[in-house]
A = this chain, B = another copy of it.
């Protein structure tokens, strides 16, 4: 089998890897583990000599950050970056773009990044000339966790094919379950059993995706039933920091029935308990007694994180030349404009012919034209503004029109307007004519990095309509 080449490649989504690529990385991780178990921890400590990994953690992390650090040190490299943004210029509103560029400028050979916004890591990889590894983006993905889980599952069920795995805890808000399930779907004869509170149920789109891939997905009422039908139980933490409508105490109560306790383990005495960790010690979704049971496998799983990350960094960086900083980056262009040539085009001309140059925004819900002007400050900046009621509109949902003479809009301004009124139409007027007419589409996922006004990430969609950054339709 020909070796896959990961040299200088970014790693953002588990879905990008073929089964052959997964197998290659798992094998390399196992090789790293074997070296460790033979007492040769530093065998490869010249591999990444003078290589630098920028570790950019916008959100708290113990395992992911530390294991990348351990991997880098044991391979002979060094580190820069931050753990939390407290002491950095992010406090002075520095954007993701400008921040990550600085670490390339500081001669990082690769970046590992965690960020609260979905798609933020892909944005970084799009603008940087060095490989970027996703250390977790919002509620989207955590692909190196999925890889280390595969390494661990492969220890329990060699070859992974035929694995019967149970999922529990919070299947709705965690990125781990998503990445993990996607990874497993690349193997044959996989069974996923799950039980969770209604609020934490596995999302329907994920279930559908898995079924389409041939994965058997079974929902059960109790943890015990899931255990009886599984070899591995993969427990997860309620993502309290992403659950806004419940108090921590309420989350704990909801989780009570789904906790892993010693008595439930009797349902399958051979079950292996995995968990991406941390366990929330307030919820205790895994009871502390289970930490000391023979079913506990999550600490070994965590150590596998080091071997996996050693494998990954080795594959990406070993033997490469030091990267040169090249700051003349090309702009990434938004592709979210839907150009129109409707019947309104001509009527528009008629209504708009009083402006020589400028913008006409059409289909504004009643009353919001003023909000747009106030938010963007056109009048304040001296632009001539005109507001018109649209004759076609019903009296119940009157539509308005806003003409701004002489203005051109930046991408940020388009976004700001569409955040206020999603369905408006923009008419660009040049020489008394409508030069362009379009709708400006935003990603529907309000945690997507493209939705953060100040970040100025250009909205981009794939051919199948999925957001280029967060992957949502």
Contacts and interface: CB of A to CB of B under 8 A. Distances in A.
Contacts of A162: none
Contacts of A80: 66, 69-70
B106 A410 contact: no
Contacts of A95: 279, 281, 288
Interface residues of A, number: 91
Interface in A375-403: 377, 380-381
Interface of A: 36-37, 39, 41-42, 45, 50, 52, 57, 60-63, 65-67, 69-70, 73-74, 78, 80, 82-84, 86-95, 97-99, 101-103, 105-107, 237, 240-241, 253, 256-257, 261, 263, 277-284, 287-289, 291-292, 294, 296, 299-300, 302-303, 306, 321-322, 324-325, 327-331, 377, 380-381, 408, 410-412, 454-456
Contacts of A42: 50
Contacts of A291: 97-98, 329
| Copies of the polypeptide in the assembly | 3
Contacts of A65: 87
B92 A241 contact: yes
Contacts of A257: 381
Most chain B C-beta atoms within 10 Å of own C-beta, residue among A88, A99, A289, A324: A88
Most buried by B among A80, A105, A411: A105
27 contacts: A37-B324, A60-B89, A60-B90, A61-B87, A61-B88, A62-B94, A66-B80, A67-B106, A70-B107, A82-B87, A92-B240, A92-B241, A93-B278, A94-B278, A94-B279, A95-B281, A97-B288, A97-B291, A98-B279, A102-B277, A102-B302, A105-B306, A261-B410, A263-B408, A281-B456, A287-B410, A296-B327
Q: Which of A66, A67, A90, A261 has the most chain B CB atoms closer than 10 A to its own CB?
A: A66
Nearest to A49: B42
